[in-house]
Amino acid sequence: MHYIKLLRPPVIEKVRSEPILKIVLAITTDLGDAYLSPRDPIDLVVVGAYTVQKDGREQLVPVNLTQRSAPKWRSGMRVLKIDVPLPAHPITTVQVRPLNRQLTAMGTTDIWPPTGQGLIMTAFSDIGQKDPVCFRSLRLPTPDNQTIQVEEDMGDSIARHIWDSGIATASLIADMFMVNNSSNSNGNNNVNNGVAMPSFRSLLQRRRQADSPLKILEIGCGIGTLGIAMARILASCSPPSPKVLMTDLPEAEERARANIARQASAPGDVSSILDFESLDWEDGKLGVFGEKVQAEAWDLVIVSDCTYNTDTLLPLVQTLSAVRQLSAEKNDGGGPKVFLATKSRHSSEREFFDLMEGEGWAIEEESVIPLPHIDGEAKPIEVYLFDKK
């Protein structure tokens, strides 16, 4: 996949007394390590939105700001500057996306199951904000138009950004639970286009007493994409809603908490079942956890895009084992399984699996999620369910 990345906040300037919106962007991979190099130029559209009152409620009205002339992203580009005139209405939010709907990732069904579209993810930004953040929005297949919406830092670094594995896994889980996956005409269960993972699915489906929801701990949550997606998707199923605690280093807290708060203003508010707590794996490997981690017997630990740094693999694996031991002590010997989603970026990451085996973890299920890709060789997302006897 590729992502439209806003490199700085959109600004409004006067040019010959007319208000002009200035946008600076790039289209890159999730880590910004490769620019999109399409065979043919890709037309983009800039859509602004202003607010009106209708039936006592605020509604956003979209307006195409590039109707006269579509900006184009061409092979070899590293940056694109776009100047668009503004309408009379004050624009509050702007989005930049491909003009061709087939190229645009607007919903989870554009990413999984594979459709040949969903190649480029849209960027959104509020106008006039002080913080250099933009946000991503991915529609879920629900009647009330719920979305997975998370904000990230602007710019082209890898810190506090959305990554491939979280988005791909969220799309897989949405397909598992929000799309009709009932038995087919032959009486066989739908196998989700090759990613069945029955044990993982069964674990997520499990509903115990109403006062004992599924407890999910995320390790290395980043901006919170996967944890928030799982909370939103599973909460839409039969009650009770899950409890999701996201953890990462202290520098991740501001963006993770901002994204938790963002859920309160979206349809299907799940902010109350989400929380954050700082966790350094150097502490975790020693069994040193915060009060929120210690308070629960966790059913599932999720990890997404955390194996790229080989220097942290050992403390990560030891932290997973320590969490299991902590939960097992609270749950009469039963500990959580570990779900891993990763995009292999270099061969040294395979050390993670050797370390897991050395700690007594075994792969119970595994599969792959192919990523939409418009140029070059696409690397899939690998997903694994680990258990420890």
**Residues 162 and 133: beta-carbon distance below 8 Å:** no
Quickly list DSSP for 129-168. Answer: -SS-EEEEEEE-S-TT--EEEEEEESSS-STT---HHHHH
User: What pLDDT shows up at residue 109?
Assistant: 94
Residue 170 and residue 139 in one domain: no
User: What pLDDT shows up at residue 376?
Assistant: 67
Residue 98 and residue 173 in one domain: no
Residue 135 and residue 171 in one domain: no
pLDDT in tens, the chain (389 residues): 999 999 999 999 998 889 999 999 999 999 888 999 999 999 999 999 988 888 777 788 999 999 889 999 999 999 999 999 998 888 999 999 999 999 999 999 999 998 878 899 999 999 988 789 999 999 999 887 789 999 999 987 777 899 999 999 999 999 999 885 433 333 333 444 556 799 999 999 875 544 678 999 999 999 999 999 999 999 988 778 999 999 999 999 999 999 999 999 877 899 999 999 999 999 999 999 999 999 999 999 999 999 999 999 999 999 999 999 999 998 877 899 999 999 988 889 999 999 999 999 999 999 999 998 887 677 899 999 999 98
Which amino acid type is present at position 379? K
User: What pLDDT shows up at residue 195?
Assistant: 67
User: What pLDDT shows up at residue 55?
Assistant: 79
How distant is the alpha carbon of residue 181 from its chain centre?
22
User: What pLDDT shows up at residue 165?
Assistant: 96
Residue 105 and residue 216 in one domain: no
Give alpha helix (H) positions in the chain: 164-178, 198-205, 225-235, 253-262, 281-284, 291-294, 313-330, 351-358
For the chain, how many structural domains are there in total? 2
The Cα diameter of the chain in Å comes to 73
Q: What is the CATH number of the domain that holds 372?
A: 3.40.50.150
φ, ψ (nearest 5 deg) of residue 268: 75, 55
**Residues 148 and 229: beta-carbon distance below 8 Å:** yes
Q: CB under 8 Å to 380, separation ≥6 — which residues?
A: 343, 368, 369, 370, 371
Residue 242 lies in a domain: yes
Residue 202 and residue 137 in one domain: no
- Note the pLDDT tens digit of each residue in 328-370: 998 877 899 999 999 988 889 999 999 999 999 999 999 999 9
Residue 189 lies in a domain: no
Helix (H) or strand (E) run with residue 245 in it: strand 243-248
Residue 128 and residue 24 in one domain: yes
- C-alpha distances out from residue 361 to 318, 352, 358, Å: 11, 11, 7
Q: What range defines the domain where residue 285 resides?
A: 166-179+196-388
Residue 289 and residue 250 in one domain: yes
Residue 98 and residue 214 in one domain: no
Which amino acid type is present at position 322? A
- C-alpha distances out from residue 246 to 47, 62, 156, 222, 378, Å: 33, 34, 24, 9, 29
User: What pLDDT shows up at residue 207?
Assistant: 58
Residue 248 and residue 144 in one domain: no
User: What pLDDT shows up at residue 379?
Assistant: 87
Query: How wide is the angle at C-alpha 230 spanned by C-alphas 139 and 181, nearest 5°?
Result: 70
- Note the pLDDT tens digit of each residue in 115-127: 878 899 999 999 9
Which amino acid type is present at position 139? R
d(CA 368, CA 264): 32
Q: Is 376 left (phi over 0), alpha (psi -120 to 50) or beta?
A: left
Residue 226 and residue 127 in one domain: no
Whole-prediction pTM value?
A: 0.92
Residue 175 and residue 237 in one domain: yes
> How many Cβ atoms from other residues are within 10 Å of residue 287's Cβ?
14
